[in-house]
Amino acid sequence: MAKVKGDIIIDIEKCKGCELCIEACPQGSLETSRKVNNKGYLYIVKVEDTCTGCTNCALVCPEGGITVYRKTEKGKEQIAKISNVTKDMELKVN
Amino acid sequence: MKELKLMKGNEALAEAAIRAGCDAYFGYPITPQSEVLEYLSREAHARTGMVVLQAESEVAAINMVYGAAGTGKKIMTSSSSPGMSLMQEGVSYIACAEVPCLLVNVNRGGPGLGTIQPGQGDYFQSVKGGGHGDYKLIVLAPSTVQEMSDFVKQGFDLAFKYRNPVLILTDGALGQMMEKVELFPQQERKFERLDWATVGKPADKEKNVITSLNLKAEAMEVINIHLQEKYREIEKNEIRYEAINCEDADYIITAYGLVARICTKAAQMAREKGIKVGVIRPISLFPFPYKAINDYASKVHGILDVEMNAGQMVEDVRLAVNGKVPVEFYGRMGGVVPDPDEILKALEEKIVGVAV
Amino acid sequence: MSMNERDLLEDKHFEQVISDESICTKENIVYEKPETLLDVSMHYCPGCGHGVAHRILAEVIDELGIQQEVIGVAPVGCSVLAYNYLNIDMSEAAHGRASAVATGIKRVLPEKYVFSYQGDGDLAAIGTGETIHTCNRGENILIIFINNGIYGMTGGQMAPTTLPGMKSTTSPFGRDVATMGAPLKITELLAQLPGTYYVTRQSVHKPLNVRKAKKAIQKGFEYQKLNKGTCFVEIVSNCPSNWKMTPVESNKWLDENMLPFYPLGDIKVPKD
């Protein structure tokens, strides 16, 4: 299988620096910044280029502030095979 | 053809609810109004599909009303004094959230568990607040079984006209007594999507929220000002009262509900003795007919207010009269219904005997 | 300390990695904020489980495509303003009465999806009566119960679910079961009632738990469609502010202390 490459974008103005995403990240990609956002929170930033797009950080983010991206060398088709929380449920209703 | 029937007040009210196209009733048994819940449980669903649910308490019932009425449907509940007290928190929320609905209080003697006999001790609770904060209910006080029926329909109309809860304030005697009533024709239950109601957010519209909360003081004041403006509008348009033989009267008795009928008899007896007495019966207790009473006060020597309580509406009568003539009070409490003789005696002793 | 001072003190022990534009494209999105969750900052304290619970609820609403068919009821408590974050029709109930309000809505709109979202004080103290009777009647609603063992909004008082020995502002020496009663396991209690169809206890403190909790909420709505009775999803959550811990510590404490007392998993599952 091709190597999975992921990335995230953190909405730093929503971030309250709770650090739950740091705890959840299996790659150790995240850290608390030394800068504050407009609300005065030390927000979270990505510091290692090791993201696999596993979505753990976004799952535990109480602010809904993390968007997760994922890409393989072979392109889009591969992505669909990877367990994706937004698509892993059967929709039985309606 | 007229549809006439001999019915108990509570049953006429329940029948009227079905005919008015009421969508749901949530209630809890309490004497002397349990017939409403019983009658609806028996009749309503089969006839119109109306939802009738016996809640686990009056607290739950009023909150079911809050939720259901938030959908813009015709929703009602009924109770009697102690149960009504339990509902007051919910009533305050409903008034602030501007959810139209119909409430019925079949007043019994209080305070506390009191009695199961009729009373009028809930006037203050109904008219002056009851729950917390600055809010008003539109309060209608029937004096006949016919009005018990008619006011249900009018009550729903007023509730939706002003997006305000309407209360029918009646008493145990009217609820229990049987009279001839002309029933109005069955109205269709129809569902209209109202622009403020919580029925599911359409894709092209903003969501609706039914709430009484606003944490910003200035914004909450705006809501308060809006409510007060609405109440002033109601005061302008919806005052209802009945003046019985007042045109040539030297004295006036003020009374509401069933007591007004007893006072009408007392006034008749007074006229037989040569004392010209009229009766003013406020029908809408909020908005109160201050001006009408003030106008009549200019023409008479004194006013006797009669109630089945320790003197509650008399405060509004005194405000209306504003010192023009003496206003005296006669009341019975604890569930005792006054008879015409004692009212006439009180009139003679407190008003006719002393007034100039 | 001003921002500039902070910048000066920065020890540069790490470098922020700028997002890769070739990866961060629309077609590569695998996770984003659900549409039903409004794009606003929530008032919850940092690390509070309410935000996650709101988000997964919104995700389920989006994925089931029921945004136009759902009506929610907010409680009194920290989540009193839930309607500011969820882009659906909502009603804000009096304290403890959310399930009665939801009953009223569902009874007159039986074809819609109705849920209440309540905290432990709301659902298991002041609203116990409404909760039990709503479940006993088997109202076809979903009740989402956030249990963090404390009154958050009023400032950390003892809740019906506060653990034995746990300190709060009204049990400053720890909850004394002899005088204050034992924590109420209302979820187990409700599972005994014939009206409940699906009763489960979940948490949102770890990624896997978040996914399970989301699945439970989804089931709650699906069973509602089938008119099977009340679905009840408890979410054991944290309260960093009133537990006086960092968010990370609070989730660890939850794992070590709350979960042994409130074990996760389905308590009542449909037979068919």
Which pLDDT tens digits describe chain C residue by residue (272 residues)?
455 555 545 545 567 788 888 899 999 999 999 999 999 999 999 999 999 999 999 999 999 999 999 999 999 999 999 999 999 999 999 999 999 999 999 999 999 999 999 999 999 999 999 999 999 999 999 999 999 999 999 999 999 999 999 999 999 999 999 999 999 999 999 999 999 999 999 999 999 999 999 999 999 999 999 999 999 999 999 999 999 999 999 999 999 999 999 999 999 999 86
| Residue A89 predicted with pLDDT over 50 | no
pLDDT score of A4: 76
CATH of the domain at A10: 3.30.70.20
Asked if B109 is an interface residue toward chain C (Cβ–Cβ < 8 A), one would say no
Closest among B313, B294, B296 to B251, alpha carbons compared: B296
Contact B92, B165 (CB under 8 A): no
In this structure, is residue B232 part of a structural domain? yes
In this structure, is residue B215 part of a structural domain? no
In this structure, is residue B136 part of a structural domain? yes
Judgement on whether residues B254 and B344 belong to the same structural domain of the protein: yes
CATH of the domain at B126: 3.40.50.970
Q: Which residue of B has its CA nearest to C107?
A: B51
Chains in contact with B via at least 3 Cβ–Cβ pairs below 8 Å: C
Q: Which of B237, B265, B286 is the last residue of a domain?
A: B237
Yes or no, beta carbons of A33 and C16 under 8 Å apart = yes
Yes or no, beta carbons of B201 and C102 under 8 Å apart = no
**How many distinct structural domains can be found in chain A?**
1
List the single range of A78-87, B101-110, B307-316, C110-119 with lowest mean pLDDT: A78-87
Q: Could you tell me the pLDDT band of residue B1, with boundaries at 50, 70 and 90?
A: confident
Q: Which residues of C touch B69 (CB under 8 A)?
A: 104
Yes or no, beta carbons of A45 and C63 under 8 Å apart = no
Nearest CA-CA distance, residue C49 and chain A, Å: 6
Closest among C202, C19, C16, C36 to A64, alpha carbons compared: C36
Count the neighbouring beta carbons within 10 Å of the beta carbon of residue B291: 12
Judge A/B contact: 3 or more CB pairs < 8 A.
no
Residues spanned by the domain of B102: 3-200+225-237
pLDDT score of A73: 60
Nearest CA-CA distance, residue C187 and chain B, Å: 20
For an interface test with A, which of C3, C19, C23, C30 has the most A Cβ atoms less than 10 Å from its Cβ? C30
In this structure, is residue A92 part of a structural domain? no
% pLDDT > 70, chain B: 99
Buried-state track C99-122, b at ≥16 Cβ within 10 A, e below 16: bbbbbbbbbbbeebbbbbbbbbbb
Count the neighbouring beta carbons within 10 Å of the beta carbon of residue C9: 9
CATH of the domain at B297: 3.40.50.920
Helix (H, G, I), strand (E, B) or coil at B317: helix
| Residue B90 predicted with pLDDT over 50 | yes
Q: Between B and C, how many CB-CB pairs are < 8 A? A: 125
CATH class of C43-268: alpha beta
A33, A36, A63 member nearest C42 (Cβ): A63
pLDDT score of C21: 86
Average pLDDT for B180-188: 97
Q: Which residues of C touch A7 (CB under 8 A)?
A: 19-20, 23-24
Yes or no, beta carbons of C109 and B71 under 8 Å apart = yes
**How many distinct structural domains can be found in chain B?**
2
Judgement on whether residues B194 and B263 belong to the same structural domain of the protein: no
Yes or no, beta carbons of A24 and C33 under 8 Å apart = no
In this structure, is residue A35 part of a structural domain? yes
| Residue A85 predicted with pLDDT over 50 | no
In this structure, is residue B219 part of a structural domain? no
Judgement on whether residues B284 and B336 belong to the same structural domain of the protein: yes
Q: In sequence order, what are the residues at sequence separation of 6 or more whose Cβ sits closer than 8 angstroms to the Cβ of residue C74?
A: B211, C80, C81, C82, C83, C90, C91, C92, C93, C98, C117
Give the C-side interface with B, CB within 8 Å.
67-71, 73-74, 80-81, 83, 87-94, 97, 100-105, 107-109, 112, 129-130, 133
Angle between helix B9-19 and B34-48 (nearest 10): 30
Nearest CA-CA distance, residue A1 and chain C, Å: 18
Judgement on whether residues B229 and B332 belong to the same structural domain of the protein: no
Judge A/C contact: 3 or more CB pairs < 8 A.
yes
Judgement on whether residues B192 and B45 belong to the same structural domain of the protein: yes
Average pLDDT for B179-185: 97
> CA-CA distance, B256 to B148, in Å (whole number)?
14
Q: What is the ipTM of this complex?
A: 0.95
In this structure, is residue B209 part of a structural domain? no
Judgement on whether residues B192 and B268 belong to the same structural domain of the protein: no
Helix (H, G, I), strand (E, B) or coil at A81: helix
Residues spanned by the domain of A45: 4-81
In this structure, is residue B208 part of a structural domain? no
Asked if B336 is an interface residue toward chain C (Cβ–Cβ < 8 A), one would say no
B88 φ, ψ (degrees, to nearest 5): -60, -35
Nearest CA-CA distance, residue C215 and chain A, Å: 8
Count the neighbouring beta carbons within 10 Å of the beta carbon of residue C68: 17
- The first and second tokens of residue C35, run together, are 């549409």
In this structure, is residue A91 part of a structural domain? no
Contact C192, C205 (CB under 8 A): no
Q: Could you tell me the pLDDT band of residue B355, with boundaries at 50, 70 and 90?
A: low
Q: Which residue of A has its CA nearest to C56?
A: A59
In this structure, is residue A19 part of a structural domain? yes
Q: Which residue of C has its CA nearest to A92?
A: C222
Q: In sequence order, what are the residues at sequence separation of 6 or more whose Cβ sits closer than 8 angstroms to the Cβ of residue C4?
A: none
pLDDT score of A74: 56
Tens digit of each residue's pLDDT (9 = 90 or more) over B53-87 = 999 999 999 999 999 999 999 999 999 999 999 99
Q: Which residues of C touch A20 (CB under 8 A)?
A: 47, 247-248, 251
Nearest CA-CA distance, residue C97 and chain B, Å: 6
